Structure 1
Amino acid sequence: MSSVKRAAAGAKWAVGCQIFVSLAQFVVSGVTSRIFLPADFGGFAAALSLMGLLTLLTTTGLPSFLLKEHRLSSNHIRSIRRIAILTGGLTATAYVLIAPLWLVLLQAPEGGQFILTMAVAQAFGPTGAVESALLRRETNLKRDAVTVLVTFVAANGAGLLLAVWLRQAWVLGVPLAITPIVLAISACCLQHEVYLAGSSLNKRALFTFGRKITTQNMGFMVLQQAPGWLVSTTLGAAALGHFTKGVALAQMPATALTAIQSRIAQPHWRNIRGRSSFQEAVCDAALLSAGVAFPGFAILSVNGSTLVNLWLGPGWELAGSMTSMLAVGFAFSIPFTLMAGSFEMRGDFGPARTAQWCMAGAMLPPILAMITTRDVLWASWALAISQGGALICLIAVVNWQNPRVSRRLIQGFVQQIAWAAVIGLSGMLVGAVVSRNVQASISAEIIQLAVAAVTSGVVWLFTFRWHTTSAMLVRRGFRLPRLFRSVNV
């Protein structure tokens, strides 16, 4: 069985779970957007960004180290759990001390109401991440999906009930505080593997690896968060609220796809022998990732404004106008994240580090345009252009052992972009025509969105056999129905 096929075993659990989580997030976000103001969401985003920075600084390396190691002993596990508890306490304290100044710098005083819940999330976050990584290491996607589902339902269910009942913005932080606690308990209860006693943890190796991956991931986070920070400092919390909601529509499916591919692929990278075989597996995994992401986000890009109007209601038109470019940026980010994370798991940090410089350079012109014109729309361009530049740069700087693999990757990406444009635009055009010419009791926006989604889905379905993804799956030994089977293999 090929490495890609072996990694895909049981993937239906991860896919089904993430589909449910994404749809539920969509509903929760739509409800809360009708309760709270854009400035509240801007303050929440500002407070959340600091939590993300502190998490990356202190705990990124722990779950990655657990997933990459070939052998672990009970001594290793015990030491890493202690480190997680210690770093959680330290970062929670640091968050409480730094957050007030951080919110002043971002001109988002509304974020002060979230400090307590964010500190709780910070305290338990490392432990939740460690226990989740230990469960993922066992490569049982069914049990892993159960932990994700239980955690999401418990945390977001409580947050939604409190939001509807109390109608106070601070409850937006409640799901973040509950999530790591439930995740740690559920993941720990579902772990089956028994680790034998062995040598003590090589803390130097752990901290060396952690330092490298933390430095790299910190760079990516700063670059991804920079547009939002600059929106806040330049235009204020209300503009950040609109930008955040525009990001959220694209980020929810992007987070789901990223979680699916990382949970399926990450635990398997350590088992692939040989650099050439590893690069070929990464290439095929990236083609599969792009084959799903590019058409899906093309549909979102061309229909985003209409969807935001229906989703969030009146007052969020500015967020809708940013969705198109944000969707393009997140489409590029999905295969990029897969590839960069794959090389990280093998200790190859150079290509992604170079891609970070490309991201920064590509982001600079639209950011300067935003500051000069005070138009928040440029922030969406900054995210899209920087992610596309990072993906191109990463492919260019990797030392591919087999030139045919890199050519297949480039040709596959170009083809998927072309098909994505056809899929998205065909639905948009048909939807616009039908909505203008059909009289019905429901709104024209609902008709347009429904027709566009169905049309794009049909085009995607009947052209799939010509997509690079189909050829890759057939080459890897997957049995596809005749309608989906590539004619080029």
Structure 2
Amino acid sequence: MGYLKDTIRGVSWMGGFRIVSRIVAFAKTAILARLLIPAQFGLFGIASLMLEFLEVLTETGINIVLVQEKKNIDDYIDTAWIVSIFRGLIISLIIVLATPLIVSFFNSSEAAPLLYLMATVPLIRGFINPAQVKFQKNLEFNKEFWFRFAIFSLDTATAVLLAALTRSPAALIWGLIVGAIAEVALSFIFVKPRPKFVFEREKLGEVISRGKWMTGAGIFSYFFQHGDDIVVGRLLGQAPLGLYQVAYRVSTLPITEVSDVVGKVTFPIYVGMSEEKVRLKKAFFKTLLAVSALVIPFGVLLFVFAREVTLLVLGEKWLGAVAALKVLAIFGSLKAIVNSCYPLLLGLGKQRQVMLITLAGISGLGASVIPLSLKYGIVGAGVSTVIGLLFAAPVAFYFVLRALR
């Protein structure tokens, strides 16, 4: 029953953080929705799409590898830090150099200043102490609670205050910048060991070898999560993109937060139980049942009361998002259930299977998102995400059942 106690303790702390952070995030979204218009959210969406794409394109999978590593990870921290700094610098340079192309692709010259400002975020994040992964590895979720809460609070307060003063979408990026600076500072003050400028090629080779499938999975995951955003922004424009992204956030965050919390906690526990298939199987199916019991009723409520939720959280100028919100409530529930498979597969070192599941999802999304978006607008884009999940789900459960034999 050790895993159950660890899971309950971890879920309590991480669940507490997620509940608090989501309440704050909903308040942040509600306030910003009244200070900014959908087109401004769309401009921020364009900048964030570029940052997220480059982050996953250059993902080394090192955090996953460090959690999977059963030996002391201190020897890997220096190399991981140098790689992180170099990665942040590369991402920043690419954003700056690619800005004219991005502006042309989305036909949005107003996005250029935001993209240049966004380029500072990965540069700062590169200096974060990678030893913070020990919070998750050692199941110290109480420490991670306060660590993440401080960062999130500074990000939110900065974004809301600056948006109130400037009525500019740049406020959202300044929130990210302040949050990144805070994370660097706190990771050096409260997390040990502190990294040094020491590079070991052997350590890098080992990490890259084990994390390569996570890089592929990350790229596929990006297109699975944001392929619809890219199509909406390119074909329909920045105002529909703003409507769609906010609808996505409102509809999926409360639901997928459940699976995200459980996944963050169960991943290191599954690693510890990887040699005990009977216990592992029992733990997984209990977790899957609990996640399903929580997310399905919430998804149904969100579907039924989509208009009321939109008026309450966002206001009248966002009513154009109601139909998409209903479809995305279905997507969020399905996503939470399918995502429950990933911690188990990662805990067993099956990064390749995670990549293949995501590839199946992209196939469904990619085949449907353009025609559906052209015909039905942002509602069609939402339907394509559901189709993508229906492609991914059978593949995910096939790999899970095979892994638990």
Q: Give TM-score scaled by structure 2 length.
A: 0.90
After TM superposition, the structure 1 = structure 2 runs for residues 224-235 of structure 1, keeping only pairs within 5 Å, are 224-235=225-236
User: Which residue does the alignment assign to 1:377?
Assistant: 379
Point out where structure 2 has 5 or more consecutive residues left out of the alignment. none
- Aligned to 1:115, the other structure's residue is in SS state helix
* Cα shift at 1:283: 2.9
Quick check: 54-63 or 212-221, which moved more? 54-63
Whether the 8 Å contact between 1:275 and 1:401 is mirrored in structure 2 is no
1:41 equivalent to 2:8? Answer: no
In the superposition, relative to structure 1, how do residues 397 and 255 fare at CA in structure 2: closer, same or farther (>3 Å)? closer
After TM superposition, the structure 1 = structure 2 runs for residues 469-488 of structure 1, keeping only pairs within 5 Å, are none
List per-residue Cα deviations over 1:38-61 (Å, max 9, x = no partner): 111111111101111111122351
* Cα shift at 1:200: 7.9
1:236 equivalent to 2:237? Answer: yes
Q: Structure 1: which amino acid aligns with 2:8?
A: A
User: Which residue does the alignment assign to 2:348?
Assistant: 346
1:144 equivalent to 2:141? Answer: no
Distance 1:67 1:94 in 2: 29
- Aligned to 1:70, the other structure's residue is in SS state coil
Greater gyration radius: 1
1:69 equivalent to 2:76? Answer: no
User: Which residue does the alignment assign to 1:483?
Assistant: none
In the superposition, relative to structure 1, how do residues 350 and 368 fare at CA in structure 2: closer, same or farther (>3 Å)? same
* Cα shift at 1:112: 1.9
User: Which residue does the alignment assign to 2:273?
Assistant: 272
In the superposition, relative to structure 1, how do residues 97 and 85 fare at CA in structure 2: closer, same or farther (>3 Å)? same
- Aligned to 2:119, the other structure's residue is in SS state helix
User: Which residue does the alignment assign to 1:171?
Assistant: 171
Point out where structure 1 has 5 or more consecutive residues left out of the alignment. 404-489
Distance 1:194 1:166 in 2: 38
With a CA cutoff of 8 Å and minimum separation of 6, indicate the structure with the bigger relative contact order: 2
Distance 2:287 2:354 in 1: 17
Distance 2:243 2:129 in 1: 30
Whether the 8 Å contact between 2:310 and 2:319 is mirrored in structure 1 is yes
Distance 1:393 1:205 in 2: 29
* Cα shift at 1:327: 1.3
After TM superposition, the structure 1 = structure 2 runs for residues 261-410 of structure 1, keeping only pairs within 5 Å, are 261-274=262-275, 276-277=277-278, 278-364=280-366, 366-373=368-375, 375-400=377-402
Distance 1:402 1:374 in 2: 41
Q: Structure 1: which amino acid aligns with 2:264?
A: R
* Cα shift at 1:399: 4.7
Q: Structure 2: which amino acid aligns with 1:150?
A: A
Quick check: 379-388 or 184-193, which moved more? 184-193
Distance 1:148 1:165 in 2: 26
Distance 2:17 2:173 in 1: 23
* Cα shift at 1:249: 0.3
* Cα shift at 1:313: 1.4
In the superposition, relative to structure 1, how do residues 76 and 349 fare at CA in structure 2: closer, same or farther (>3 Å)? closer
* Percent identical residues: 17
Distance 1:177 1:255 in 2: 25
- Aligned to 1:202, the other structure's residue is in SS state helix
User: Which residue does the alignment assign to 2:258?
Assistant: 257
Q: Structure 2: which amino acid aligns with 1:72?
A: N
Quick check: 107-116 or 94-103, which moved more? 107-116
Whether the 8 Å contact between 2:267 and 2:346 is mirrored in structure 1 is no
User: Which residue does the alignment assign to 2:162?
Assistant: 162
* Cα shift at 1:25: 0.8
List per-residue Cα deviations over 1:219-238 (Å, max 9, x = no partner): 01112211111111111111
- Aligned to 2:144, the other structure's residue is in SS state helix
* Cα shift at 1:29: 1.0
After TM superposition, the structure 1 = structure 2 runs for residues 12-51 of structure 1, keeping only pairs within 5 Å, are 12-51=12-51
Distance 2:383 2:330 in 1: 9
In the superposition, relative to structure 1, how do residues 6 and 54 fare at CA in structure 2: closer, same or farther (>3 Å)? same
Q: Structure 2: which amino acid aligns with 1:214?
A: T
Distance 1:194 1:107 in 2: 44
In the superposition, relative to structure 1, how do residues 20 and 60 fare at CA in structure 2: closer, same or farther (>3 Å)? farther
In the superposition, relative to structure 1, how do residues 402 and 171 fare at CA in structure 2: closer, same or farther (>3 Å)? closer
Whether the 8 Å contact between 2:327 and 2:383 is mirrored in structure 1 is yes
In the superposition, relative to structure 1, how do residues 158 and 275 fare at CA in structure 2: closer, same or farther (>3 Å)? same
Whether the 8 Å contact between 2:373 and 2:381 is mirrored in structure 1 is no
* Cα shift at 1:95: 1.6
- Aligned to 1:34, the other structure's residue is in SS state helix
User: Which residue does the alignment assign to 2:92?
Assistant: 92
In the superposition, relative to structure 1, how do residues 109 and 5 fare at CA in structure 2: closer, same or farther (>3 Å)? farther
- Aligned to 2:72, the other structure's residue is in SS state coil
List per-residue Cα deviations over 1:371-391 (Å, max 9, x = no partner): 442522101111122224312
In the superposition, relative to structure 1, how do residues 135 and 7 fare at CA in structure 2: closer, same or farther (>3 Å)? same
- Aligned to 1:5, the other structure's residue is in SS state helix
Q: Give TM-score scaled by structure 1 length.
A: 0.76
1:211 equivalent to 2:212? Answer: yes
User: Which residue does the alignment assign to 1:121?
Assistant: 121
User: Which residue does the alignment assign to 1:220?
Assistant: 221
Distance 2:10 2:212 in 1: 33
* Cα shift at 1:352: 2.8
In the superposition, relative to structure 1, how do residues 362 and 398 fare at CA in structure 2: closer, same or farther (>3 Å)? same
List per-residue Cα deviations over 1:337-356 (Å, max 9, x = no partner): 23124313432134333323
Number of matched pairs:
401
After TM superposition, the structure 1 = structure 2 runs for residues 429-448 of structure 1, keeping only pairs within 5 Å, are none
Whether the 8 Å contact between 1:59 and 1:84 is mirrored in structure 2 is no
Distance 1:345 1:181 in 2: 31
Distance 1:261 1:401 in 2: 20
